[in-house]
Amino acid sequence: MPVETDILPPRYRSPRRIATGGMGDIYRATDVALGRAVAVKVLSERYAHNEGIRSRFTREALAAARLSGEPYVVTVFDVGEHAERPFIVMEYLGGGSLEERLREGGQDVGQALEWLEQAATALDAAHRHGVVHRDVKPGNLLLDRDANVHVADFGIASAAGMDALTLTGTVLGTAGYLAPEQAQGDHATPASDRYALAVVAYELLSGRRPFESDSITAEAVAHVHEAVPPISAARPGLPEELDAVFRRALAKDPSQRYETGAELVAALRAAFANAAGATRTFAASAPVRAQPARRVRTPVGHWTLVGALLALAAIGGAIAAILLTGSGSGHKKAQRPPAQTVTTVVTQKGRATTVTTPAGTGSSGPGSSFGSLSGSQLNDSGYAKMSAGDYTGALPLLRQSVVKLSGVGYPTEAYANYNLGYTLLQLGRCDEAIPYLEQAKRLEPQRHEPKDALQRARHCKPG
């Protein structure tokens, strides 16, 4: 129901209460001046005459405003007072929060890592600005309509250069995500935020917090005194390689934790990759998608530096080998021509292996040694031929790679589709290239290379 009281300035019409926080209420309203939906946080009336709390509320606005424009941070549009109550106007995202997603049950591992990477990007930026969030939790990780995470609610944040309102001995934050130093009343630091992010990561991957308890006090005490429970035992199918990551991420001593949020997420990705390299399988209850090693692409005409590609092969190839459940992209396999070529490629463990490749442009037949290679290994072998200018030789490898990687998702499937599309483009088979480049663009909309190649394909003249 619309709020009938004059709670907001006239510019913000039709307010509806959508949430209640510790310091105030949040309303969805329409900014009639700019014609857009906004979220407006208003200090609770019971605190309106408390100067200390008003100062803290204002500090929240200043801290959040300092971060506006940083990726994956909720943007602040306006700060002011109305009817003697401070308010903050922020972007309205409309996708709910990670807290709501967690209520739905276990999360896809690939999606969870993507959310964690986005949250880490925002927190690392905040720390560079001297801002410590202090209350990182799923309820403060909001989703936009494209399911991207934005960090919100710096309500108990501290910002360098601002007067501290929190004394040592005062515990701020949410018990389930409190770093040990916070639980003991010490000052929070960037390492405290990263600890809380690690708790969120543990929860997204396993479905529960590491020290989850019915008692808030018991949970806070456990953060201080108890050893980190292995996440591999918290949910069937999670690899033991994750345990060491969380032991460091949730270390009692802040100096022993990861130095940035990005480093934490990279360690999680590497743990899954190492587990996949050990030919581990994961239970259906903890689905795993191919995870991105950072891709290095030069402008269209080249793909990547060879060294970077081999590093990618170690991760992407290993994960893809675990994820594959069979072919079935709709591409038909042609009979293998009798002529063959031999290529040496590097496998995910750095070992050389000989690949028998059918000549011509058809896919391998059932008897080909392709069957023993993962989709990523085929893609890497195809890339090696692309690098040497042998697009005709690359074509059958890349076709089979796309078949094997169909449905694996971002980023490995995107790599294979781009390579195949680009190879077809180089061979003058523009119309054939388009669907593969479109798939690469769909999987990686943030990259310009698939878009550039797709534009070329749509305007090129067959050679």
Residues marked active site are found at 135
160-189: b (≥16 Cβ within 10 Å) or e: eebeeeeeeeeebbbbbbbbbbbbeeeebb
For residue 73, which amino acid is it? V
Q: Which helix (H) or strand (E) holds 192?
A: helix 190-206
Within a 10 A sphere around the Cβ of 217, how many other Cβ atoms? 10
Number of CB atoms found within 10 A of residue 76's CB: 22
- 3-class secondary-structure state, position 176: helix
CA distance 78 to 178: 30
Tell me the residue type at 163: D
Question: What is the DSSP code (8-state) at residue 315?
Answer: I
- Three-point CA angle 187, 20, 166, nearest 5°: 20
In order of 3, 21, 258, 410, the CA distances from 173 in angstroms are 30, 12, 21, 35
The amino acid occupying position 129 is H
The residues facing 123 across adjacent strands are none
Q: Which two structure tokens, joined as six digits, stand for 51?
A: 């100067």
Q: Which helix (H) or strand (E) holds 261?
A: helix 261-277
Measured CA to CA, the distance from residue 43 to residue 7 in angstroms comes to 10
Residue the block writes with tokens 């479109």 = 438
Helix (H, G, I), strand (E, B) or coil at 380: helix
